[in-house]
């Protein structure tokens, strides 16, 4: 099995466990117990599924009555599970001389289905890890406003410089007309002589 198959099995196990809990009456004379067990030691098929059921239904974990086996995980890597998962039991081939096994015992205390909270996992999860939730890129109006204010401030800084240039231009004195006596005479170009063209017979 690869990771894709494990996640697909975990998704089916969550649905099966919720259906089993819904079929049990909390006011039953036998106590309204549900036993969940797998022949797997993966966290995705065991603690992950049990923790999901604790959030989705009015059930709690009780002791399994088994005096051997290891306690279930209450934390695994970056995941944190309900503290009552210590009542679940894990069995390892190298320790208990048997196939890998997991068992959890639920006690249903109410037939009402709690409302889903925002911080909980969605009811239907993707079976494949590659198909994650679609990322929606939202506009950032705050950043745009900051950029607009920066442009306005830069324009305000540039305005005084323009005023200074105009004021310098206003301070310049107009050029006075130079009297003719100081003007240099233009060199006169001698007029070209017109050559008469002699015609034959004249």
Q: How far apart are CA 72 and CA 173, in angstroms?
A: 95
Residue 20's pLDDT band (boundaries 50, 70, 90)? Answer: very high
pLDDT grade for 135, boundaries at 50, 70 and 90 = very low
Q: Are 85 and 51 in contact (CB under 8 A)?
A: yes
Residue 155 falls inside a structural domain: no
Q: Helix 47-56 vs helix 3-22: angle between axes, to the nearest 10 degrees?
A: 40
Q: Is 37 a catalytic residue?
A: no
Does 113 map to a domain?
no
The answer to whether position 199 is within a domain reads no
Q: What is the band of 120 on the pLDDT scale with cuts at 50, 70, 90?
A: low
The reported pLDDT for the residue numbered 23 is 93
Check residues 29 and 185 and name the one with the higher pLDDT: 29
Q: What pLDDT does residue 91 have?
A: 92
Judge whether residue 103 has pLDDT over 70.
yes
* Residue numbers of the domain that contains 61: 3-108
Hey, what are 124's tokens? 């239907």
Cβ-Cβ contacts under 8 Å for 87 (sequence gap 6 or more): 61, 62, 63, 64, 71, 72, 104, 105
Q: Is 56 a residue whose pLDDT tops 70? A: yes
Annotated active-site residue in 39, 98, 151, 152: 39
**In a domain? residue 57:** yes
In a domain, residue 192? The reply is no
CA angle, residues 104, 107, 109, in degrees to nearest 5: 150
Q: What CATH number does residue 12 fall under?
A: 3.40.50.150
- Does residue 54 fall inside a structural domain? yes
> By C-alpha distance, which of 85, 95, 43 is closest to 63?
85
pLDDT in tens, 142-152: 555 555 666 65
Average pLDDT score over the chain: 74
Is the pLDDT assigned to residue 117 strictly greater than 80?
Answer: no
HSE (side-chain half, CA atoms, 13 Å) at 136: 2
Structural domain contains residue 44: yes
Average pLDDT over residues 100-124: 77
Instruction: Report the pLDDT averaged over residues 22-33.
Output: 90
Confidence of residue 2 (pLDDT cuts 50, 70, 90): confident
What is the pLDDT, as a whole number, of residue 114? Answer: 86
Q: What is the Cα–Cα distance from 138 to 167, expressed in whole angstroms? A: 48
6 in Cβ contact with 128 (< 8 Å): no
> In this prediction, what percent of the chain has a pLDDT beyond 70?
56
Note whether residue 76 is domain-resident.
Answer: yes
Number of domains in the chain: 1
């Amino acid at each position: 099995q690869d990771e894709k198959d494990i996640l697909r099995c975990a998704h089916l196990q969550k649905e099966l466990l919720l259906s089993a809990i819904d079929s049990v009456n909390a006011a039953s004379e036998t106590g309204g117990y549900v036993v969940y067990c797998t022949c797997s030691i993966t966290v995705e098929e065991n603690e992950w599924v049990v923790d999901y059921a604790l959030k989705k239904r009015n059930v709690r974990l009780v002791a399994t009555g088994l005096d051997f086996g290891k306690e279930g995980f209450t934390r695994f890597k970056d995941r944190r599970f309900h503290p009552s998962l210590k009542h679940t039991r894990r069995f390892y081939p190298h320790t208990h001389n048997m196939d890998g096994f997991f068992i959890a015992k639920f006690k249903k205390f109410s037939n009402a289905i709690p409302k889903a909270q925002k911080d909980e996992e969605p009811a239907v999860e993707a079976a494949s890890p590659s198909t994650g939730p679609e990322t929606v890129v939202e506009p950032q109006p705050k950043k745009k406003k900051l950029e607009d204010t920066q442009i306005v401030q830069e324009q305000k800084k540039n305005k005084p410089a323009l005023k200074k240039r105009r004021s310098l231009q206003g301070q310049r004195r107009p050029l006075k007309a130079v009297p003719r006596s100081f003007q240099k005479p233009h060199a006169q170009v001698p007029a070209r002589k017109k050559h008469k063209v002699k015609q034959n017979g004249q």
